[in-house]
Structure 1
Amino acid sequence: MRALDLTLVLTNMPTTTTLRLSFSPSPPRPLSNRACPHGPVISQLDFFAFLNRHGSFLTPLSCCSLEVDRRRRSPITMLSYDSTSNVLANQFQVRELNDETDFETILSADGRFSVCGFGSLLSERSARSTFPDLVNFRFARLNGFRRVFAHVTPVFLERGIARPETKEISGLSVEPCEGESLTVTVFEIEKSEIPAYFEREIEYRFLAVLPQTLDGKPFDNPAVLCACYSDEEFLRVRCKGSKEMFFQLYGQYNIDKIWQDDILPCRAYLRHCVLAAKKLGDEVYDNFLDHTFLGDRKTTIRQHLATKGSGIMEEEPPESLKIRYGG
């Protein structure tokens, strides 16, 4: 099969522009939604179309090849168009950050990197307990993602606030989801904190994303987002295939599977996140309740708190954790 050439003539611009696109003859391959291991599998063309509907479009070159590097997700080029100058602006690639060197590619001019907060980090007090030297704590919007309680968190077991008997053991992450939009926080921390950050959040997939202000303006610098991972990748990539390392991190807590779809939020942690969101106002509070899901990807936190999770908001955390989990 020969390559398909397509010529587009763009009018209704200050000047008429002609683009010639050459598409690969390869048939579309399914693109597994690796950041959302339990979500639907979509084709690359569907994924590109999804980006188009969310205020950005792709460069011609990024649509030409339908081949995917099997070892690593292909970067997705997102662009906005400056119609006054007839040029493309704000080019940014949503990509996976696989190691500390990748983190350095998103540093700002002053040597800091941005972090997206979507759960406990909605609380500035909580964020400062983890990152005492953070700066520029502010609100943002992140389109095309949803929150999910879908992974076991050992620290809840260590602190005695998890309930294995009822499967209320889950922490919070995010995953791509068409049509969803999250209200998040963003702040900056020093480059020197990269190793500690990487180690502390080791169970996540790190994505470089570009948040927006609440009025829709893209940020100047990308931020790190802790997204869903998978057990297979965790063992192969994070643990370098070492079952001994997996045991040290999870096995010693009788955890043989990290990412699950039938577990429930840790009660004290969920209460903390809800209180933190509520303190930021009705918009953030409602966004958290309605755009955060259980591992089944169907039940919202608002629904959970009205059913199986009723009573959570009235429960006080242990005395030693009242400040840390106080919202």
Structure 2
Amino acid sequence: MSSSDVRSSSTYEITELHAEADFEKLLSPDGRISICGFGSLLSERSARSSFPELTDFRVARLNGFQRVFAHVAPIFFERGIAKPETKIPAFLERELEFRFLAVLPETLDGKPFDNPSVICARYSDEKFFRIRCKGNKDVYFQLYGRYGIDKIWRDDILPCRAYLRHCALAAKNLSDEAYNNFLDHTFLGDRTTTIRQYLATTGSGIMEEEPPESLKTRYGG
């Protein structure tokens, strides 16, 4: 029922991006922007479905952040996989409930990248309603309320099973290091239980579950 959120515990300064003009400042000399993906974007195939002109897909390390499944995502309801029990503007619309940060990832050898990347990070329900919904209850209803969601960011939900499987497979396809990092450094909403622990206990069987036929390609890792 949730997707991943990233919470910063970093001591270095992080720049928040508020408008399209802020993103444009991050463009490389050839007019491209770097996106730092930590969930479904770990899959190159999935990333290309969002960014058809994607180039230079690569693995990076981002320090000072924690990956947590604590976000109710309406797109899972739209795709029929949630259970209640590329262009910059398109990207902004797709990830509306997140806040956007400019961060500087590094290679696995510890070398910082030349240009900052954009990452989606945890927002707050209050700011989402006040800023993104302009304080309009009708806007919130269209985005979330019609699915019975009254709170977006929470600690009492479990990951959408098809989405978690997809992210885990995507990490595994990248490398053993990426896969182990995902399992051991990604947490449930309680921020205590790792994904490895979850898959070995109450989440057992998730990796054997096939997504709906319509999503087998997109959510196949």
Task: Return the TM-score normalized by structure 1.
Answer: 0.64
Alignment match, 2:134: 240
Which residue, out of 38, 47, 50, partners 1:118? Answer: 38
Match of 1:218 in 2: 112
- Of the candidates 149, 156, 167, which is equivalent to residue 255 of structure 1? 149
Q: CA deviation at 1:319?
A: 1.0
Percent identity among equivalent residues? 74
Higher relative contact order, chain-length normalized (CA < 8 Å, sep 6+): 2
The equivalent of 2:49 in structure 1 is 129
| Aligned twin of 1:275 | 169
Counterpart residue identity of residue 26, structure 2: I
Quote the residue 1:24 is aligned against.
Answer: none
Aligned to 1:320: 214
| Inter-partner Cα distance in structure 2 for 1:109 and 1:147 | 31
Query: How far 1:254 sits from its partner (Å)?
Result: 0.9
Aligned CA RMSD, in angstroms, stands at: 1.5
Q: Extract unaligned runs of 5+ from structure 1.
A: 1-34, 41-46, 52-75, 77-93, 166-188
Task: Give 1:1-327 correspondences, 5 Å limit.
Answer: 36=7, 50-51=11-12, 76=13, 94-165=14-85, 193-327=87-221
Post-superposition offset of 1:112: 1.2
Gaps of 5+ in 2: 1-5
Between the two proteins, the alignment pairs up a number of residues equal to 216
- Give per-residue Cα distances to partners, 1:132-181, cap 9 Å, x unaligned: 1111111111011111101101111111111111xxxxxxxxxxxxxxxx
Give the CA deviation at 1:241.
1.2
Deviation, 1:205, is 1.0
More helix by percentage: 2
- Give the SS at the match of 2:47: helix
The separation in 2 between residues aligned to 1:313 and 1:246, in whole angstroms, is 33
Normalising to structure 2: TM-score of the pair? 0.94
Bigger share in strand:
1
SS in structure 1 of the partner of residue 109 of structure 2: coil
SS at match of 1:151: strand
Larger Rg: 1
SS of alignment partner, residue 277 of structure 1: helix
Q: Post-superposition, which runs of at least 4 consecutive aligned residues in structure 1 deviate over 2 A?
A: none
